[in-house]
Every structure is written in C-alpha cells, then in structure tokens.
C-alpha cells in the first residue's frame, strides 16, 4: 500500500515539476526575447522565422552583437541616465534605512509622550492614494527649490511609512531582555540601536533594502513630474522617452530595457535568500 | 524629610528613574523627528493643499481663485471641459474588474502548485517574481512587442495553432483584456504571499480530513480556501487599491510622446492617466486635484464595501 503511494507521489511530483517548468518558460520567455532582440542586428529582428538565438537572416549564421547597447548608451545618453539613477538610489536607500529604522525602533521600544497618537496619524497617511499627493508635492518641491534637480528626487522620497510599519513590527518581536541588559550596563539608546537591534534585523533590513532599491530604480512617475532637464533624467524616464521616438526600432529599446533590468536582477539574486526569508517571516502573522 | 540612608538612596533611585524616563523620551522624540518633519512637509501639507486647490481654478499661470464646487461640477457634468472623465472612470473600473480576479486566480493556482513541490520551491518563487521586479517601462516595451499584430510573438504563436491574429493593443475591445494579461503576468508578488498563507495552514487539518476520507477537491474547498481567507482578503484589498491607480504601464503604452492619449477610442485611458494629462498638459491643476479627491473617495468606498461584505476570516 505505502509502496504504491510513494510511487504515485513521485510521479505526481515529476508531473508537477514539468507543468511548472512549462509555466516558468512562458512567464520568463518575454525576458529571454527581450535580451535576444537586444543582441540582434536591426534587419534580423523582423525575420519571418522568429528565432531566440540571433541569426543573420541572409546567411543563417549565429552571432551576438552589442551595437544596440553602444548606440543607446552613447548616442541616446542612457549611460548618463544610468548614472543619475545610481546616484539617486545610492543616496536615497541608505537615508531611508537610517531614518525609517530609527523611527521604527523608537515606536517599538521607547516610551515618549504622544507615541501612539503620532504612530496612528502616520499610519493613516498610508491609506491615501499616491496620485492625490502628486501635484501638491510638486508644489512643495517647487517651493523648496528642489524642482528639476536630483535632490528633488531624493528628499521628497526619503521616508516610507510602510517601511516604518514593517520594521516596527519586526523590532517588536525581538526579545526585550537584550536591550534591558544593555541599558543596565549603561548603554545609550543610540548604541543599543546600532550594536544590538540592527545586527539582529538582517532579514527585514534586506527586505526593506531590496524593495526600496526596486522602487526607486524603477520609479517613473515622480521623476517624470519633477525633471525637465534631459541631462538629469533617470533610467526609466530616458527609456520611456526613447520609446516615444523610436517606434519600430525595437532592438534599441530592448537594449535599453535590458540595461534597466539587469542591476535589479543582480541585486535581487544577491539578496534572494534573505528576502524570501524576510517575506515569509514578516508575512501576515506579525 | 530624609531620615536615613535607605530613604536617601530610594529617592536618588526614583530621581534617576525619572531622569532616565525624561531623557529616554527625548531620545524617542529625536529618533522620530525626521519622520515627523517629513510627514508635515511632504504628506500633511500636500494633503491640505490638494484639498484646497480642488476648489480653485488654478492653471499654474495666474493666481488661483476660489470657485467652490465648480471643478467637481464640471468633471461630472461638463463634457466640453472634461470630455473623458466618465470614460476614464469606466476604463479603470473595467480594468479593476478584469485584472484583479485574473491576477489573484493565477497567483493562487501557481502558489498551490509551487507549494506542492517537495524541492525547488525557491527557484520557482524567484522565477515567477522576475516579471514583478521589472520596470513598468521595460514591461510595456516587451509587451508592446509581444502584442505587435504582425511581428509579435503572441500572434505568431496563435498562427501555429491556426487561430486568427488579434489586434491586441489597437482594437478598442482588446485593450483592457490585454492590460489584464500583463497584470496577471506580474502576479508573482501575490503568489509569494499566498505561499506564506498556505504554509501557515496547520497540517493536522488535512490529516484529519484524510482519515475522514475527504477528496482533494473537498480538502481544497473546505480547508484550503477558508483558511486562506485572511490572505485573500489582504491581497484583494491592496490589489484593488493599486489597480485603481494604475499609471506607469498605461502611460508608457498609451501616453508618452505626445499625440492622442489613451489608445484606440481612449480604451486605455485610465483615471490616473487622464488626471496626469489634465495636470501636466492642460495645466488644469484645480480640476486635477478635484479628480484626486474623487478617486480618494471612490477608493475609500470600495475598500469599505470590501471590509463590510467580503469574508475576512474562516469563522
């Protein structure tokens, strides 16, 4: 009886695996197509026989070309957009991490007057749809003199209430005895934060880092309204305008899109284990 | 009056504690100060101004004048000033109604399958998450290519099976389903959350039902689905709120680069896309703010209805 069962289970597992692999191929295929197109020469892109591997449509030879990347990086200034995106992300993400986790720690562990009220008010702002804030935020940014500058991309985005919420829930789950022991030894709050809380919070910090990175790297809406100087465009913005002017030359666009996606994939692969751990941990129980 | 050493040290202790509490409070407030400042500047004040400007006729050039409910009235009734207001609402509602069930169903199906695997779950989690982490711009580019009527892969694929080619993005009726398909392609995030929910279902429930002779379908219907209700509810509410605000993808497909906006017959003109157009191209800031306020109310109402009528738990 049990031997039959385990055989049946094995067959089921294999079948399941097969179906999932097919589905993954379907889901991931658009990517592969994007990368493949970016490596093709123009005339070979619209061949009658579509092929994932770049082939010369006259000779049938397989090749790979980087000319689209070169064009898009130099002639269309995607390299500068890439740099702008890097600058913004490298500044914003650590800023966010610092301010958000400090505040989250305070909400989780320190007692100060008005703590609950302030926290509730902050939380309620999460329920407001982003678009309602877009135009007024532009006005504020204008008044602060940050329009059409990279700092206009950084400071108005330097805090995320959702991340504070997430971090606070995590900090609440840490054993308070550690902090109490440290306090009895005379450690100040800031030291406790740096030397005890942060090292223990690696999974949730990884989640916040990667989600912030993805958000800011891919953000189109805010840079779209803040920037008018093409020299300051971030990558998604440049890519969007690239598309407007190059309908039909999809191989250039694909090269741009691949450039845009690659850093995320790399960062994601690096943090992958920690992220999935962080997701399931902080899922819906905390 | 302090009479002895004991009382003295207790008093010192109390004084120290009070001092500590005060100092601690100061630290606490200090740590949240940046967030509070940010909140006031970039959240509270914008909310207030948005509300105020929705009652003015500001067009970025001259001073704003108070016009009371004129913007709202024009949005709802004046087809000359805002010809596509109702169209954009209709498009957005259709999008929400199609993309959310599609996306959540796909996410659940994938989650169930991945959960049933004994090995390799991490690989599949990552693979299905890839479409989620791609920029809207890249997604639009790729899919515009896939949907191309002549050279696009989808039509070529259909051709293999002898099915007729579809005019995915350029036929008014196909626009929203095509958008919904893209949204379902990006269901990886929901899938991962469903997976977390599935894992939290106690296995004893399944074991007991096996003893009672329940079939797989019965187990799914009477254990899995009800136990997943909190997860499903969370995904439904957050997904709906997000779907009402869809912008990046639609902008790149139908809005960038000037010219007519919104696709064939404005079948792709979502609410936020129209809002953006009003604010950034026509400088109707007052009207745009009014649109924002209206959206806020709609989202609140829909969310409230969901809280009221959708089962949140398994009891």
Range of the domain at B34: 5-53
- Let me know whether B45 and B79 are in one domain: no
Domain boundary among A65, A86, A102: A65
Choose, out of A14, A27, A161, A197, the residue to mutate when testing the contact with B (most B CBs < 10 Å): A27
Asked if residue B234 has pLDDT above 60, the reply is yes
Q: Comparing A90-104, B26-40, B146-160, which segment has the lowest mean pLDDT?
A: B146-160
Task: State the number of CA atoms in the 13 A half-sphere of A265 facing the CB.
Answer: 13
Residue that the structure tokens 């598309």 belong to:
A243
Instruction: Say how many domains are in chain B.
Output: 2
- Let me know whether A194 and A124 are in one domain: yes
Give the integer Cα–Cα distance in Å for A133 and A150.
19
- Let me know whether A152 and A252 are in one domain: yes
- Let me know whether A146 and A239 are in one domain: yes
- Phi then psi dihedrals of residue B263, to 5 deg: 80, -175
Domain boundary among A36, A65, A94: A65
Asked if residue A43 has pLDDT above 50, the reply is yes
Query: Got the DSSP string for B220-265?
Result: IIIIIHHHTHHHHHHHHHHHHHHHHT--HHHHHHHTTTSSS-SSGG
Give the integer Cα–Cα distance in Å for B285 and B62.
12
Tell me what the pLDDT averaged over chain A comes to.
81
Give the integer Cα–Cα distance in Å for B144 and B168.
9
| B37 vs A: CB within 8 A | no
Q: How confident is the model at residue B104 (pLDDT cuts 50, 70, 90)?
A: very high
For B81, residues 6+ apart whose C-beta sits below 8 A from its C-beta are B74, B287
Q: Is residue B59 part of a domain?
A: no
| B158 vs A: CB within 8 A | no
- Let me know whether A47 and A83 are in one domain: no
Is residue A186 classed as helix, strand or coil in its secondary structure? Answer: coil
Which pLDDT value is given to residue A285? 37
CB pair distance less than 8 Å for A34 and B32: no
- Let me know whether B39 and B161 are in one domain: no
Range of the domain at A109: 70-282
For chain B, state the CA radius of gyration. Answer: 27
Task: State the number of CA atoms in the 13 A half-sphere of A3 facing the CB.
Answer: 0
Angle between helices A161-172 and B5-39 (to 10 degrees): 150
- Let me know whether B42 and B110 are in one domain: no
Q: Are B44 and B37 in contact (CB under 8 A)?
A: no
Asked if residue A273 has pLDDT above 70, the reply is no
User: Once rounded to an integer, what is the mean pLDDT over residues A167-184?
Assistant: 82
CB pair distance less than 8 Å for A244 and B257: yes
Tell me what the pLDDT averaged over chain B comes to.
84
The pLDDT tens digits of the residues spanning A196-238 come to 888 878 777 887 888 889 889 988 889 988 998 888 888 888 8
- Phi then psi dihedrals of residue B297, to 5 deg: -65, -45
Which pLDDT value is given to residue B34? 92
B13 or A21: whose pLDDT is higher? A21
Q: Comparing A84-93, A144-153, B144-153, B293-302, which segment has the lowest mean pLDDT?
A: B144-153
Count how many pairs of residues, chain A against chain B, have C-beta atoms within 8 Å: 266
Q: What percentage of residues in chain A have a pLDDT greater than 70?
A: 87
CB pair distance less than 8 Å for B38 and A99: yes
| A103 vs B: CB within 8 A | yes
CATH of the domain at A171: 1.10.3720.10
Task: State the number of CA atoms in the 13 A half-sphere of A119 facing the CB.
Answer: 24
The pLDDT tens digits of the residues spanning B14-61 come to 777 777 778 888 888 889 999 999 999 999 998 888 888 889 888 877
Which pLDDT value is given to residue B37? 93
Q: Can you name the residues that pair with A62 across neighbouring β-strands?
A: A55
Q: What percentage of residues in chain B have a pLDDT greater than 90?
A: 19
CB pair distance less than 8 Å for A105 and B31: yes
Q: Is residue B62 part of a domain?
A: no
Is residue A55 classed as helix, strand or coil in its secondary structure? Answer: strand
Q: How confident is the model at residue A83 (pLDDT cuts 50, 70, 90)?
A: very high
Residue A235: closest CA among A212, A258, A251: A258
Give the integer Cα–Cα distance in Å for A273 and B139.
25
Choose, out of B16, B49, B133, B139, the residue to mutate when testing the contact with A (most A CBs < 10 Å): B133
A240 or B35: whose pLDDT is higher? B35
User: Once rounded to an integer, what is the mean pLDDT over residues A63-82?
Assistant: 83
DSSP state letter for B165: P
Cα dihedral A65, A70, A75, A81 in deg (nearest 10): 130
Chain A residue numbers with beta carbons less than 8 Å from the beta carbon of B303 are 127
- Let me know whether A114 and A20 are in one domain: no
- Let me know whether B45 and B89 are in one domain: no
Query: Got the DSSP string for B26-53?
Result: HHHHHHHHHHHHHHIIIIIHHHHHHHHH
Q: Is residue B296 part of a domain?
A: yes
- Let me know whether B219 and B102 are in one domain: yes
- Let me know whether B79 and B10 are in one domain: no
Which pLDDT value is given to residue B118? 80
- Let me know whether B101 and B170 are in one domain: yes
Domain boundary among A17, A39, A65: A65
User: Once rounded to an integer, what is the mean pLDDT over residues B176-200?
Assistant: 88
- Let me know whether B31 and B135 are in one domain: no
């Amino acid at each position: 009886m049990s031997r039959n069962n385990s055989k049946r289970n094995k067959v089921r597992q294999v079948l399941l695996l097969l179906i999932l692999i097919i589905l993954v191929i379907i889901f991931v295929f658009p990517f592969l197509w994007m990368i493949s197109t970016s490596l093709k020469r123009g005339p070979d892109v619209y061949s009658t026989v579509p092929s994932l591997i770049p082939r010369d449509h006259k000779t049938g030879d397989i090749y790979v070309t980087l000319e689209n990347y070169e064009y898009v990086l130099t002639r269309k200034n995607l390299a500068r957009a890439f740099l702008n995106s890097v600058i913004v992300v490298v500044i914003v993400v650590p800023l966010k991490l610092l301010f958000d986790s400090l505040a989250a720690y305070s909400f989780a562990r320190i007692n100060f007057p008005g703590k609950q009220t302030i926290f509730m008010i902050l939380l309620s702002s999460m329920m407001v749809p982003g678009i309602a804030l877009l135009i007024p935020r532009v006005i504020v940014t204008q008044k602060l003199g940050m329009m059409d500058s990279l700092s206009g991309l950084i400071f108005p985005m330097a805090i995320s209430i959702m991340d504070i919420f997430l971090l606070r829930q995590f900090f609440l789950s840490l054993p308070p005895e550690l902090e109490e022991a440290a306090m009895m030894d005379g450690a100040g709050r800031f030291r406790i934060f740096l030397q005890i809380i942060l090292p223990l919070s690696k999974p949730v910090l990884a989640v916040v880092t990667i989600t912030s990175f993805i958000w800011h790297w891919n953000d189109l809406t805010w840079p779209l309204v803040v920037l008018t100087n093409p020299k300051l465009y971030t990558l998604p913005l440049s890519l969007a305008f690239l598309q407007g002017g190059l309908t039909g030359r999809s191989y250039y666009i694909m090269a741009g899109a691949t450039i845009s996606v690659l850093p995320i994939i790399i960062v994601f692969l690096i943090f992958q284990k920690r992220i999935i751990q962080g997701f399931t941990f902080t899922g819906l129980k905390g | 009056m302090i009479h002895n050493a004991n009382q003295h040290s207790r008093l010192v202790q109390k004084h120290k504690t009070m001092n500590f509490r005060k100092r601690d409070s100061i630290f606490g407030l200090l740590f949240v100060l940046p967030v509070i400042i940010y909140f006031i500047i970039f959240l509270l004040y914008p909310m207030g101004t948005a509300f105020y400007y929705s009652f003015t006729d500001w067009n970025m050039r001259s001073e704003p004048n108070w016009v009371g409910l004129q913007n709202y009235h024009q949005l709802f009734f004046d087809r000359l000033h805002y010809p596509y207001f109702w169209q954009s609402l209709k498009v957005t509602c259709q999008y929400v109604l199609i993309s959310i069930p599609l996306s959540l169903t796909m996410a659940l199906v994938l989650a169930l399958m991945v959960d049933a695997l004994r090995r390799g779950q991490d690989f599949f989690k990552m693979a299905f998450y890839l479409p989620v982490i791609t920029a809207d711009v890249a997604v639009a580019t790729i899919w515009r290519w896939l949907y191309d009527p002549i050279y696009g892969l989808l039509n070529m694929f259909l051709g293999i099976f002898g099915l007729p080619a579809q005019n995915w993005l350029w036929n008014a009726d196909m626009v929203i389903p095509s958008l919904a398909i893209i949204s379902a392609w990006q269901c990886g995030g929901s899938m991962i959350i469903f997976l977390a929910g599935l894992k939290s279902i106690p296995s004893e429930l399944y074991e007991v039902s096996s003893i009672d002779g329940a079939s797989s379908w019965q187990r799914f219907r009477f254990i899995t689905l009800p136990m997943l209700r909190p997860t499903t509810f969370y995904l439904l509410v957050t997904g709906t709120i997000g779907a009402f605000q869809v912008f990046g993808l639609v902008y790149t497909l139908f809005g960038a680069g000037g010219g007519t906006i919104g696709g064939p017959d404005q079948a792709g003109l979502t609410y936020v896309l129209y809002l953006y157009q009003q604010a950034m191209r026509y400088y109707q800031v007052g009207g745009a703010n009014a649109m924002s306020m209206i959206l806020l109310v709609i989202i609140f109402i829909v969310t409230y209805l969901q809280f009221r009528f959708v089962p949140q738990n398994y009891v």
